[in-house]
Amino acid sequence: MTTTNKAKAVFFDRDGTLNVDTEYLHRTEDFIWIEDAREAIKYVNDRGYLAILATNQSGVARGYYPEEDVKIIYDWMNQDLAKIGAHLDALYYCPHHPQGPLPAYRKVCTCRKPDTGMIDEACKRFHIDRSQSYFVGDSDRDMECAQRAGLTGIRYVKGSLLERIKAIDTSVKTLG
């Protein structure tokens, strides 16, 4: 906790940031961690930050898989992370898409990144200090979401996710 008694958080995108993007991932047997992603989450945990998953899951709106599959993958991720003493604190996901064929999920919403609905909800629930928090993602959409939400964006491209997080410009902020 910061001196303002607010939580600090690192929000993570999922596909392409924590796992290899296999397009519409919805089965645990297809999940492949990005290099050092588990260790990056543990690094964040060990420094007192909440680790929160914030992911667009338009495969639900497209009818490729049910919402329950998103939750199953999240639970599996936490089971696997527990093996190294790490965890994700919460899951926020957007199942919507404006052109999705399933009427229940076909809509423009405020939770779909780059909109900030998922971040806003987590910040309210956990009393997160946005000025001390980060968003780690691999897309322009993720970085735009970070900016709109008042978070520091960390762009992941390739290689070790842990090293990318450790390489944050400490002249601005640090996770230490």
What residues are annotated to the active site?
A: 13, 15
123 annotated as a binding-site residue: no
Distance separating alpha carbons of residues 6 and 1, to the nearest angstrom = 6
The answer to whether 80 is annotated as binding is no
145 is in an annotated binding site: no
138 is in an annotated binding site: yes
Residue 101 CB contacts under 8 Å (≥ 6 apart), including other chains: 61, 62, 63
The H or E element containing residue 91 is strand 90-94
46 annotated as belonging to a binding site for a ligand: no
Q: Residue 34, Cα to own-chain centre: how many angstroms? A: 13
Query: Is 111 labeled as ligand-binding?
Result: yes
* Parallel/antiparallel/unpaired status of strands 90-94 and 9-12: unpaired
Contact in structure between 36 and 17 (CB atoms under 8 Å): no
129 labelled ligand-binding: no
Q: Residues within the annotated binding site for Mg(2+)?
A: 13, 15, 138
Q: Give the annotated binding-site residues.
A: 13, 15, 94, 96, 109, 111, 138
Per the annotation, binding residues for Zn(2+) are 94, 96, 109, 111
